[in-house]
Amino acid sequence: MGEQLTLRDMQRSKSRSERLIRVTLWTVGMLFLAGSLYSLTLYVLSNIAGLATVVNVSWEQTVSGNAWSFQREYVTYTDTKCILLPIVDEGERVSKGLEIARLNFMGEIKLNEPSNRRLYSQVAGIVSYEPDGLELISELKDYQALTIMDLDKIIGPAETAQKSSQGLAGLIQDKVQAESRGASGDTTASGSILGDGGGGGTSAGGGQTGEQREAAAPMTYTREIPSNASVVKVTDNLSDCYIYIRLPEQEEAPFAPGDRVSMRLEGSGEGRGSTLQCEEIAGGWGLLLKLETGLEALRHSRKHQLTIMLGTEDRCAVPSGTVVMKGGEIGVYTAEKNRARWMPVVVVEERDGLQIIEGIEPNEILPGDLIVTRPWLIWDGMKLQG
């Protein structure tokens, strides 16, 4: 009986040993499989990561700001309330002496009303029925000599003033009083004042009569004009063009008088101008230029968003998509000794498929450094395939 028990115990012990061996082999196999899968995953990820070299590019430094253009402008005013009846379209270029509009002071509101006042262009140029008040600047005989401080004081209130010269008359009254409108009823080189009453003037330079254009007369800008307000202006877009630009704050003046300046206007190409003045103003710098070449679009409207080229310098660039955010921080993964190393950076600009970057002290990124181009599944310290 004892021998039988001993044999049974031996069989049980053997079964337990076999189970232990099977479990051990299964565990070792699973661990080996997991390790193999992990190694394979690392291998795949490290190969997918891809490497590229940080390149050195010539980076164009630019700054953008609001800009206003000024040319010789001829404005007609009325000291009596009336109705404006346009003859030519807004923005149309007309020849000197062409009838451009009529003013209705009484009677039936229509173009052929006998009492209408006829308005003729005093100069060849572009017609606008929406004066913005800044015409008073170009009415000064020496408006080119205005300082940046003068311009800034005038333009600031103009941003909120109504679109009539009346809203700004008081702001530059001292400058304009002696040379802009003159006495009531007079005509100056820059504008004229109209009173109520019948037609006047004859078409000069072979211009068309109002009747010839009456059938196609635009009615969009037909509206009531208050007393002592501007009615219409004609901009001599062949006269000298001056550009005033407000630039954001910088440590020092970006330009000096006489400097050539390259400008860019979206959709209109590039142009060049020469610096007349550059002075510090509230919140930045004021830059006054004379347009020399290009950017004819600046002559056809008042306000623009201009980009100014400040110069070029060498900067580090990486392919777009290389920079990622990890833990609320922007950076790239560099490759050092076949290991991924996280480096925080600042993206200066993105252009033409490249991101211009610079390291954050004490880290520095240099041309020739290797960086991970597909960093989405990469972590700091991960081994990379060379």
Q: What's the mean pLDDT in 209-225?
A: 62
**80 DSSP assignment:** S
Containing H/E element for 34? Answer: helix 2-49
Quick check: 99 and 207 in contact, CB under 8 A? yes
User: How many whole angstroms from its chain centre is CA 268?
Assistant: 12
Residue 277 has pLDDT above 70, yes or no: yes
Q: Of residues 207 and 222, which shows the higher confidence score?
A: 222
Extract long-range pairs of 342-345: CB within 8 Å, 24+ residues apart.
342/380
The whole-angstrom separation of Cα 243 and Cα 274 is 10
pLDDT at 217: 52
pLDDT at 177: 41
Residue 360 has pLDDT above 70, yes or no: yes
Q: How far is CA 170 from CA 63, 136, 308, 338, in A?
A: 34, 11, 33, 72
pLDDT at 72: 86
Please name each of the domains of the chain with its CATH number.
Answer: 48-58+315-372 (2.40.420.20), 62-68+240-312 (2.40.30.230), 72-235 (no CATH)
Q: Which residues contact 266 (CB under 8 A, 6 or more apart)?
A: 305, 307
How would residue 62 be classed by pLDDT, with cut points 50, 70 and 90?
confident
- Range of lowest pLDDT (14-23, 107-116, 211-220, 262-271): 211-220
pLDDT at 353: 81
pLDDT at 59: 75
